Chains A and B, each alone.
Chain A
Amino acid sequence: MFVVSDLARPGLEPTSFTLNAGECIAVRGASGSGKSLLLRGLADLDDCSGQVTLDEIERNDMSGPEWRRQVAYVPAEAGWWASLIGSHFDDWSEVLPLATEMGLPEAACDWPVAQASTGERQRLALARALIKSPKVLLLDEPTSGLDTGTTAIVENLIARRRENGAAVLWVSHDPAQAKRIATRSLVVEQGRVQEAI
């Protein structure tokens, strides 16, 4: 469904793998090994060589925004472009069930971004991406700032997305989490991406 062949750029050696619908691959590797370059490259945020196809359509056959609406990248440190949380969502009432499930209050809409904690911002950024129902999720340590309980809720939420056919690439530093969420693993080392056995 999501086929990567020879994706490469400076700092990332040619990488090929296939991600099936409903599948989750855990991505491991030390910081600076190239995990973010891989995810950014897949989201087409950096200029890369090679091909990436989604449902047999090459990404260069569609516009960048069209591609990114289907292949959602949630970075470890999410970006914000307005001062209030609510300004980052088209329709907060639509996000509300998702936000509530992740333990965020309804009033979060009116919070200044600077007032939200790291964990709260992380969940809001995830909700912001999930609300668009992308077919592929590229998650960079989505639970690093969360406690065990909330982490379980997020893992559960993503698992349900997979049941509905979404494919997930999940960067995690926690081997136990990798085992829980994924069936396969990729290891990134000095820009080289390899399937872990």
Chain B
Amino acid sequence: MDYVRLDYVDLAVAALLVIANAGLSIVLELGLARRVLIAAFRMVVQLVLVGLVLKTLFALTSPLWTGVAALAMILFAGREIMARQDRRLTGLWGYGLGTTCMLLAAAIVTVFALTSSVRPDPWYDPRYAIPLLGMILGNTMTGISLGLHALTTGLVRERTGVEAQLALGATRFEAVRPVVRAALTSALMPIVNSMAATGLVALPGMMTGQILAGVAPEEAVKYQILIMFLIAGGTTLGATAAVMGGATRLTDARHRLRLDRLSAAKD
């Protein structure tokens, strides 16, 4: 493939922009210089390491090691979901629900894409599996954390309304329906918006990357469309499972609202 290779001098030249950024902070006394430099340094180290890991994974093309890398990505994303909740479910549920739903959704959608549309040989080829999983995971993670956040804050805020319905003899799923609907709307909004705006407002990163790497634009566009479909599927699946699971956990078999199964609010 024909593309312009970068050498380290090219990167050093671009790094001058970050140095200028830090310089500006010093001149204007923004107090950001240290943070900018540390963040830039972390970015470089993390990406170099990822590059090494991917290089090794690609060379191995082992189902075991590809699976281990995929699992590690999912577990990190699960932590991220939990960290974004103001009030999380108590006990194992706090980490378990979001992570399990993401594992389920991302695994199903990634394996589906690898075996039906993309079909690399072997199907678990990490050069396809890991980037696909990464993109699906990132978006599913956002959907699940938005959905769970809207569910828990919604149930706390609408508690009297939910309990009024329960007191009148509604079942737990009838009573939480308005909150569940709002939570799913909030979870799916980013992917709906980004599908609507893609191409007009922003060129997606993956597509841009492929074009820079020498892929014909119409081929890159096909890949991007596939990815958007996968992301939409993964987000819907993961967020629906997480929100329904959360709604079930926050009510009980006697059809009572169980906000005692939420941890106390942070701060």
Task: Spell out A's residues near B (CB within 8 Å).
Answer: 43-47, 63-66, 68-69, 72-75, 77-82, 125, 128-129, 132
Contacts and interface: CB of A to CB of B under 8 A. Distances in A.
Nearest to A39: B167
Nearest to B159: A79
A82 B162 CA distance: 11
Contact of A64 (B162, B178, B254): B254
A16 B173 CA distance: 32
Given A75-B167, A81-B165, A82-B178, 8 more contacts: A44-B256, A64-B166, A68-B166, A69-B169, A79-B162, A80-B161, A129-B168, A132-B168
Interface of B: 158-172, 175, 178, 252-258
Contact of B256 (A47, A79, A82): A47
A166 B167 CA distance: 17
B255 A63 contact: yes
Main secondary structure of the interface of A (DSSP, over half): loop
A68 B163 contact: no
Contact of A79 (B160, B171, B172): B160
B168 A64 contact: no
B255 A78 contact: no
A45 B167 contact: yes
A132 B164 CA distance: 14
A85 B171 CA distance: 21
A43 B160 CA distance: 14
A128 to B, nearest CB: 7
A129 B163 CA distance: 13
A68 B254 CA distance: 10
A36 to B, nearest CB: 11
A46 B256 contact: yes
Contacts of A79: 159-165
Q: Would you list the 10 A-B pairs with minimal beta carbon distance, nearest first?
A: A79-B160, A79-B164, A69-B169, A81-B161, A64-B255, A64-B254, A79-B161, A65-B169, A73-B167, A68-B169
